[in-house]
Amino acid sequence: MLKPITHIYPDLSHFHTACADFFIKRVQIAIAAQGYCSVALCGGNTPKPIYQLLAQPEYASQIRWDKVFIFWGDERWVPHDHIDSNYRMACELWLNQVPIPPDHIYPIPYEQTAEASAASYGLTLRTFFNNRSPRLDLVLLGLGEDGHTASLFPHTSALHEKNAWTSTVFVPKLNSNRTTLTATFINQSVHVTFWVEGQKKAATLKQVLEGPYSPDMLPAQLICPQSGQLWWLLDGAVAQNL
Ligand code: 6PG
């Protein structure tokens, strides 16, 4: 496993710009190397300003969008037009404004059950990777204050899934079902980056990076790419205790 690379930026503005620049560079390198790039997006609030930056012409014009394929690392089990949908958020802030072919966007489906959504997405992934090496080129991840990432929440069965590429999680504190990529599948990826900012997550980040290995409590610790590169892009506030 390659040693994780950590970059700390002095303030939120530099952090957002750095994350957008990182995305562009990684996508460009993948396309140059293999002719396409598969990316799994994260949800939540952290990426919103970054997605808005990436929608700007000076960023969007740097990407061959017909060579990009978009997936999600996790999704709330809600219709795609629901205010909580990660798919809706990314489309409204970014993807609707760039010339990516619609059939290059693979939302996690909202099926009759969360389990059916996960099963359907697993099939989507396997179909996409059918004649490709089964590894995403870039995975974007956030970090929750409770140490979760994607929808890999503490003390849930999804953490221990060793074979499936997707799983479902019921999150009691959110009273919601979610579908998530498993750590097993994320760890097959070429590049995995955490984008984390804010003083409120500083204690959790220190525990994840420097505390004892306890992935049931801190699922972000499960993310360790087998042969890929793990990146931590942080702002100064969240990294203050490192
Ligand atoms: C989601 C995300 C989730 C998120 C963390 C951090 O669906 O909400 O995928 O894993 O990245 O909860 O969320 P914030 O960026 O809002 O702090």
Say if ligand 1 is within 6 A of residue 44 CB. yes
**Average pLDDT over every residue of 148-158:** 97
Q: How many CA atoms lie within 13 A of 126 on its CB side?
A: 10
pLDDT of residue 86: 98
Whole-angstrom distance, CA of residue 93 vs CA of residue 195: 17
* Residue 178 alpha carbon, nearest atom of ligand 1: 7
Per the listing, tokens 């697993």 go with: 122
Whole-angstrom distance, CA of residue 126 vs CA of residue 123: 5
Say if ligand 1 is within 6 A of residue 235 CB. no
User: What pLDDT band is residue 57 in, cutting at 50, 70 and 90?
Assistant: very high
Per the listing, tokens 């997605």 go with: 51
Q: Which residue pairs, CB below 8 angstroms and at least 24 apart, start in 26-30? A: 26/137, 26/138, 26/191, 26/193, 27/63, 27/68, 27/137, 27/138, 28/62, 28/63, 30/137, 30/138, 30/190
How many H helices and E strands in the chain? 7, 9
Please determine, for residue 131, whether its predicted confidence score (pLDDT) is greater than 90: no
- For the chain, the average pLDDT equals 97
**Coil, helix or strand at residue 133:** coil
> What's the gap in Å between 191 CA and the centre of ligand 1?
19
pLDDT of residue 132: 83
**Average pLDDT over every residue of 44-48:** 98
User: What pLDDT band is residue 44 in, cutting at 50, 70 and 90?
Assistant: very high
Choosing from 71, 108, 143, 181 the residue with most ligand 1 atoms within 8 A of its CB, the one to mutate for a pocket test is 143
pLDDT of residue 158: 96
Whole-angstrom distance, CA of residue 204 vs CA of residue 210: 10
Say if ligand 1 is within 6 A of residue 204 CB. no
> What's the gap in Å between 32 CA and the centre of ligand 1?
30
pLDDT of residue 197: 98
Nearest alpha carbon, ligand 1 atom 10: 150
Choosing from 19, 39, 42, 195 the residue with most ligand 1 atoms within 8 A of its CB, the one to mutate for a pocket test is 42
Q: Which residues make Cβ contacts (< 8 Å) with residue 50, sequence separation at least 6?
A: 16, 19, 20, 23, 195
pLDDT of residue 194: 99
Per the listing, tokens 């700007």 go with: 56
In the chain, pLDDT over 90 holds for what percent of residues? Answer: 97
85: amino acid identity, one letter: S
